[in-house]
Structure formats: C-alpha cells, structure tokens
A and B are shown apart, each in its own frame.
Chain A
Amino acid sequence: MAELEAYEVFQQAKDGDPMRHGGNVLAPDPELALHYAREMYSRRNESTRLWVVRRADIQVLEDPDLLDPPLDRSFKKPGGYVMRDKLAAARERAGTEKPAARATGHDRTGGRRRTQS
C-alpha cells in the first residue's frame, strides 16, 4: 500500500522575492499536495507563488569538502582585497591628497573589512 509522501513547499511572499522554504505537507499524490500546500502556506494570502516538490525528488548537498573546502579562497571574495594602506602609500609617493568626495565605485574597497555573508 502506498504511503503518504512528504512534499516540500517553497513560497514567494511578493513578486520578485526569492523562493523561501516554508515547510512541508504529507499528501497521497501531487494534485492533493498542491491543494494542501495552498492551505498550509497561503491561508492568509501570504504567498504569490508556491513551488511544491516531492521531497524524494530533491537532491541534498551538505558535504563540507564540496561546500567549504579548506584552502584559502579569499581572492574570490571582496574582503580579500583590502587596499587602504597601499593606497595611502601610493598617495604619499604621488604627493596627492585623498579626494574629497568619492563617487561610489564598483569595487567596494572602502577599506572596511566585510564580514562573511
């Protein structure tokens, strides 16, 4: 006899938002899974879109060797490029002052260390 299966439900709160995992429902088949997802995750009109997926169809990756390999990779991240001291040295060499107002560039090197996101 078939079991009830778990279906994971992802919701989008409003247009343009990312899909967020809301939870899961048990259902005997995909059609009722859709109805039940609507009930459990949209009763208060809190979603504009739902993705309903059989849990068994989801691939899970949580291997730290793949997701978080140990050698330094700071050259791939903004925080890996802190130039404050080198800029100061370059200005001193050139005899220039720090420009008064900076237009925001695209490199995000304001000198603050960025925290891990």
Chain B
Amino acid sequence: MIELALSPAVRTALAELLLTMADDEFVSGFTDSEWTGIAPLLEEDVAISSISQDELGHARALYQLLAGVLADGRDEDAIAYDREPDAFRHARLLDHARGDWADTIARRFLYELADEARLASIGDGYPPLADLVGKLQREERYHRMHLVAWIERLAHGGPESRGRLEAALAAVGPDASSVFTPLAGEQALVEARILTRPVAAAEAAWRADLTGILVPLGLQVPHAAAPSAEGRTGHSESFRWLWGEFTLVRRSEDGATW
C-alpha cells in the first residue's frame, strides 16, 4: 500500500467517504443476496445473485482501501463485521427490507443510479480510490442495464405490476436522497480533488438521470427531500435483524478464523 501524504483532515474525510460507500454496497448486496434461490424466474435468480455478489465484492474492495487509510490494525472483515448496528453508515434507503420483487427493483434502481452519480464524482486526488472506481464503474454498467430493463417491464406490464412498482417507489421515495447525505468532510475532499463536486451536485445529476427514465414511463420521481444530516444514522429494525443474522457465526467465537 503506497503511503500517500494525507493531511489529518483529509484522511478523516476520506475514511468517512469510504465507509459510506462500503457500507452502502455491503448492505445492498446483503439484502438482495436473500433472493438467491427464490427469485421469480430461475434465470433471473442467477442474474440478481450476480448483482449482489458484485456489490459485496465492491464492498470488500472498499473496506480494504479503508483499512489502509485507517491503518489501525483492522482488516476488511473486522471493519465490516465487528461493529454495532448504530456504527453503520449506509444510506437509509438501504434500510428498507428486501420486500417483494417490485420493492427490490425500485430500491435497487434508485440506488444504482445514485451510486453511478457518486462514482462519477470521484476525482484523482487519491489514486487507489480513483483506480478502484474505474473498475467499479465498468461492473456497474450491467447493473444499470438490468435494472432499467426491469423498471420498463414492470411499468409496461399491466395494472398489477405498474401498481406495485408505483407503490414501491412511493414507499422508498422519502429515503431515496439519503445516499446524498452531506458528508462532514466534503469541503476537504473537494479541495483535495478526491471529490470533483459536492454531494449536492451529484444528487442533482442523479435527479436528472431519474427524470429521464421515470417520466417517459409515466412514473413519479421521488420528491427532493431537504438535506438531512440523519440520512445515514438511526437504522431500522429490519437492518438490526440483518445485522443479527450476518454477525451470528462471527460473534459465536471471538477472534477465530473462518
């Protein structure tokens, strides 16, 4: 790992950014891995499982970067698993449970496009992150293709599918912007060219993208929520349940190798 000269302020801000990105990928990958074996169609089962695995792989890579930045002796598994639920910094959007197929498609669609806008905001100020983001973007292209294909099919599929999709978008809509929760160290990141634009600008790009897809389909774009500092804290019951599951084996034997 190259020792790059990061000022304490930038280091802290970068760690915060990496944690939010990694936690987002981790929780979304986890939630949707629940579809493995029970998706609506066998072929689709394999597809959604690949997307979940991609997210978990991205999370792993991001936690590894974070471990390097924090340099506090923890590896990526320790960072991912050895925390209480309230220490997680994923967006509230991802606190929503898996739900039915429409819920998953709505949530994933909003998240994938948000992630795309976020990745497009990463500059070259911290080269290891810039390199990783280049790879992530290439993998995420398929996610966008696949999710848009489903949004279209559900929108055009008749009253039942359209109704479920609309309800799903409405249910997660209020939390949709939580991916763009302001970061405390945003200013420092922009100055260090780790971010090319403030988070609010990424949100605007995301809205434009969403509008371009949802409006022609006759679907509502989620309302622009006022930026809340709480978009990544105070996690839901369903996340706490998820946390209980994914830490179960690990907590059974402190410090063991699995």
How many chain B residues touch A (Cβ–Cβ < 8 Å)? 12
The 7 closest A-B pairs by CB, nearest first: A36-B43, A39-B46, A39-B47, A25-B43, A35-B146, A31-B149, A39-B50
Residues of B within 8 A of A43 (CB): 46, 50
* Contacts A31-B149, A35-B149 given; does A40 touch B142 at CB 8 Å: no
Give per-residue flags for B33-45: 1 if the beta carbon is below 8 A from chain A beta carbons, else 0. 0000000011110
Cα separation A79 to B149 with both chains bound (whole Å): 54
* Contact of B145 (CB < 8 Å), options: A27, A35, A39: A35
Q: Which residue of B lies closest to A42 (CB)?
A: B50
Cα separation A26 to B47 with both chains bound (whole Å): 13
Q: Is A49 an interface residue (CB 8 A)?
A: no
Residues of A within 8 A of B142 (CB): 35, 38
Cα separation A32 to B43 with both chains bound (whole Å): 9
Is A36's CB under 8 angstroms from B50's CB? no
Cα separation A26 to B41 with both chains bound (whole Å): 9
Interface residues of A (CB under 8 A from B): 4, 25-28, 31-32, 35-36, 38-40, 43
Cα separation A38 to B46 with both chains bound (whole Å): 10
Give per-residue flags for B123-159: 1 if the beta carbon is below 8 A from chain A beta carbons, else 0. 0000000000000000000100110010001000000
Cα separation A32 to B153 with both chains bound (whole Å): 10
Cα separation A35 to B153 with both chains bound (whole Å): 14
Within 8 A of A (CB), among B7-65: 41-44, 46-47, 50
Cα separation A46 to B149 with both chains bound (whole Å): 25
Cα separation A36 to B145 with both chains bound (whole Å): 12
Q: List 23 A-B contacts (CB under 8 A).
A: A4-B41, A25-B43, A26-B41, A26-B42, A26-B43, A27-B43, A31-B149, A32-B43, A32-B44, A32-B149, A35-B142, A35-B149, A36-B44, A36-B47, A38-B142, A39-B43, A39-B46, A39-B47, A39-B50, A40-B43, A40-B46, A43-B46, A43-B50
